[in-house]
Structure 1
Amino acid sequence: MSKPPKQPVSVLVVIHTRDGEVLLIERADRPGFWQSVTGSREGDEALVQTALRELKEETGIDAANLGLCDWQQQNVYEIYPHWRHRYAPGVSVNTEHVFSLQLAAPCAVTLAAAEHLTYCWLPWQLAADKVFSPSNAEAIRTLGARLGQLR
């Protein structure tokens, strides 16, 4: 049985520490493409549930009681052509909802091997420069401002 098309509604979850270290994960299907946790909504789940599910699937972090923060921010962007086959015919635009999760310190994570190759923790400035997605880079820069670290 084939998988249903992905919904063009997703979450972006920036995992960070109070001092601005950001977790990045490298995509398995595109080595060299670094990102924060992302994923599409499944069924009619609430966006916070999508964020919690994707965090668990992609990093092993169970954030149910860790204070996930909904930024109430949406990014609308064109889906990269090499990923459009995952969506229904004619779908070319995605709406991404931004969340963040603050941890006490950088930690080891358990990656979904089919999705990600490795991970790293970087200061937010370096993380913003490393990610491939413009909306991910902007979210990390916004995090820097939220943490009061823009210089």
Structure 2
Amino acid sequence: MSSSSDVATRPFKIPESVLVVIHTPALEVLLIERADAPGYWQSVTGSKDSADEALHLTCTREVAEETGILIGSPGVPPSSLANWQLANHYEIYPRWRHRYAPGVTHNTEHVFGLTVPAGTPVTLSPREHTAYAWLPWREAADRCFSPSNAEAILLLPRFIAGGAA
């Protein structure tokens, strides 16, 4: 249970994050709907917990927190997480700027892909997300509210063909 004092003492988010496109070998993409913005569908995203947190650890933590998928578990070895070596620098939506230190207006988002077996169970964090869907990659890109997320999903076939994921 959180109170308004918890919100006041919560540290500001670090303006460096990850975007993890979770997909099957058949290019079905997992999308999750935000609890704080119904109709906003996205891949897993999340900020670093500390400035020195390694990006792959941010991915592992965020994927587990938001979907219950454990990188390193049977069927999802650490090698199934691929750093696509892409970064998006974008303006933080005004509705979420209060989560960052005063004056912070932009975020750098590092893009990763995570290959999981078809039928991988998903357990949402109800505090963060209310629904999930596995969609063919083009449909997933069309459903994303974030242009950078949609663009990342559209790159998925290239990364699979290139052996990067």
Query: Is 1:30–2:37 an aligned residue pair?
Result: yes
Amino acid at match of 1:86: R
Greater percentage in helix: 2
Q: Is the 8 A contact 1:12 1:38 kept in 2?
A: yes
Q: Is the 8 A contact 1:106 1:121 kept in 2?
A: no
Partner secondary structure for residue 30 of structure 1: coil
Query: Is 1:72–2:79 an aligned residue pair?
Result: no
Percent of aligned pairs sharing the same letter: 61
Corresponding residue number in structure 1 for 2:99: 86
Amino acid at match of 1:56: A
Shift of 1:107: 2.4
> Using the alignment, how far apart are the partners of 2:11 and 2:115 within structure 1?
33
Unaligned 5+ residue runs, structure 1?
none
Partner secondary structure for residue 75 of structure 1: strand
> Using the alignment, how far apart are the partners of 2:158 and 2:85 within structure 1?
16
Corresponding residue number in structure 1 for 2:155: 142
Partner secondary structure for residue 103 of structure 2: coil
> Using the alignment, how far apart are the partners of 1:31 and 1:107 within structure 2?
24
Which portions of structure 1, spanning 4 or more consecutive aligned residues, are displaced by more than 6 angstroms?
A: none
> Using the alignment, how far apart are the partners of 2:138 and 2:160 within structure 1?
12
Query: Is 1:103–2:110 an aligned residue pair?
Result: no
1:44-84 CA distance string (max 9 Å, x none) = 21111000000000001111334211111110000000000
Shift of 1:128: 0.3
Shift of 1:108: 2.4
Amino acid at match of 1:60: G
Query: Is 1:14–2:21 an aligned residue pair?
Result: yes
Amino acid at match of 1:49: L
Rg: which structure is higher? 2
Q: Is the 8 A contact 1:17 1:104 kept in 2?
A: yes
Shift of 1:106: 3.5
Q: Is the 8 A contact 2:22 2:43 kept in 1?
A: yes
TM-score (normalizing by structure 1): 0.94
**Equivalent residue runs for 1:48-63 within 5 Å:** 48-63=56-71
C-alpha RMSD of the superposition: 1.1
Corresponding residue number in structure 2 for 1:120: 133
